[in-house]
Structure 1
Amino acid sequence: MSRIKEVFTKGKAFITFITAGDPSLDITGQLIIEMAKSGADLIEIGIPFSDPVAEGSVIQQADERALKGGTTTDKIFKMVEEVRKQCEIPLAFMTYINPVFTYGGERFLKNCKNCGIDALIVPDLPFEEKGELEPYCNKYGIDLISFIAPTSHERIRMIAREAKGFVYCVSSMGVTGVRNKITANARDMIRLVKAEQDIPCAIGFGIATPEQAGEIALYCDGIIVGSAIVKMVGEYGADCVRPIGEYVTKMKKAICSY
C-alpha cells in the first residue's frame, strides 16, 4: 500500500495545499512542518506556473509572487529534500503538464522520488493522455492522481477503474477558489467511483470553513483545502505559519467530529 492510500486508513483525511515559494521557499518548508504537526494528513505543494488554468485569482497571484521571488522547480526539489529530514507526512506535487514536459518527464519523476514526493497531481492532463507520465510514475513509485468532475458522467467509471492513491473529486465547476456554498452533487460521483474500485475519494475546490468541511466529510474520505490557506499566506506573508497552523487544527477537528 502506498503512503498516500495509507493516510485514508486512519479516518477522514485533511489535505492542504500551498504554493511553493510564496512568500519564500523557507516559509514554505516551515508551513509544511507546521501543518503536519497541526493535523494535516497529506500536503499538496503547488509548483508555480505562469498560466495555471485551473486556478482562481488567489492561487494565480501566489504563483506570480513565487515566480517573481525566483522560485524554480530545482529549488523546490531541494526544499522538499530538506523538509524530509524533519517530516514524514505524505507529500504531493500539484503542477501543470507544460512545466513537467519542459523539465523532462522522467527527470522530473526521478527527482520526485529522490526528494521524497509521494504523488503527482496534474489538472490539465486528460485521462486519455496519462500515458505521457504514467510509465515514469510507475517506475519511480509515484501515484498519479486522477480527477473527476461533475461533468465527467460516463467517464467517471473509466477513470475510477485505473485510479491510483486517491480520486480527486472536483466539487464545483470552474476554477479553484473559496465558495459560500458547495452545490455539486459529489455524493453521486463518489458512488460511481466506489462501484468500480474501493479507492479513497477526496473532495476539493471551494471548501474553506470548518462547517463546510464537516458537512462534506460525512460522505467522502477526505477534504482538500487550498485557496483559503493560500489567501492567508497572502495576507500574513512571512508571519503566516502560526495562524495557518491554528486554522489547520480547527479544520481537522471539524472533519473528525463527523
Structure 2
Amino acid sequence: MGRWPEFLLFLCLIRVGELQEAVECCSNDVQANEDEQQELQDLELEAICPELSGQIIGGRPSSVARHPYQVSMVINGNSFCGGFIISRTHVMTAAHCVQNTSPGAIRLRVGSTRRDSGGRIVRVANVTVHPQYGRPEFDNDIAVLRLAQPLNFNAAVNAIRLPQPGDAVPLVRLTVTGWGLTAPRGRRIPRMMMEAQVPVVPHWLCRLSYGDALTNHMFCGGHFLIGGVSSCQGDSGGPAVFRGIAYGVVSFARGCALPLSPTVFTNIASLRDWVTQNAGV
C-alpha cells in the first residue's frame, strides 16, 4: 500500500505524455497531409485528431487504395467482421469471427472501399481455426480462410506482409482499418472504410487492466488512460499494421475506446509457425 501514491504519480505522468502525444498527432497530421486539406476542411477536430475526443472512437475515412489487403466479411448475408489478404489463396481473420461457421456461409468482398458494393465477391473453400482458440478465453484468436479461387493482385487487391516468428511488436502507432462502429453506442456500421492510429500499450501496463486474461499471444493498443481511439464491433478480424507488416488481428476489448480498456490484438508473430503450417506463408 505504501507504493500506491508513487504508482498514481506514475500514471499521471503517463497521462501527461499521452496528452502531449495527442496534440503532436494533430500537428503532424496537418503538416504531413497538405494535399488532403481540402478534403478534411469540413471535418470536425475530433475526426482529425480522435485522441482528444471522448465522444468518438477515432479514425477517419480511408480507402482500398491505401489498404489493398483489407477484406470485408459477410456471414449468412450480414456484415460481420473484417479480414486481410496474406497471399493469393488465403485471408486471415479472428477465430471468433468464423468458429463453427461453414465455408459456404462466408462471402468476402475484396478490392472495395465500400463494405456493401464494388470490388469482387470471393467464396471460401476452407476455414481453419487455431486448435487452441479459447483456452483460455480469446487466446489464439486467429484463423485462416482458404479461397475457392486464387486472387488476381492489382492496385486494389494485394497481400500484406507478416512478421517473422517471435518478432517483438514495436511500441509505435499501428494502423487499424475496417468498417466497425464509429461510436461506442452506435447501431449502424459505416459503409466506407475507416482507419485509426492506435499506439501500442506495453504488455505489463495492459495487464493492469486485463490481468491474467492477457496472454503472451496478445498485445494491446490504444490510449491507456484517456481512451478515445480504438477498434469496435465490426472491426474484429482486421489487421493492425506498421510499415507494411500486419502485427496483430483485432480480437476483443472491454467496451470501445474506454479509458483503461485498450483493444486487445492477437500477436501474429507469436503464432507465426502455425500460420505457415496452415497457409503456407
Provide TM-score, normalisation by structure 1. Answer: 0.30
Computing the radius of gyration from Cα coordinates, the structure with the larger value is 2
Which structure exhibits the higher relative contact order, with contacts defined as CA atoms closer than 8 Å and separated by 6 or more residues?
A: 1
Structure ranking higher in strand proportion: 2
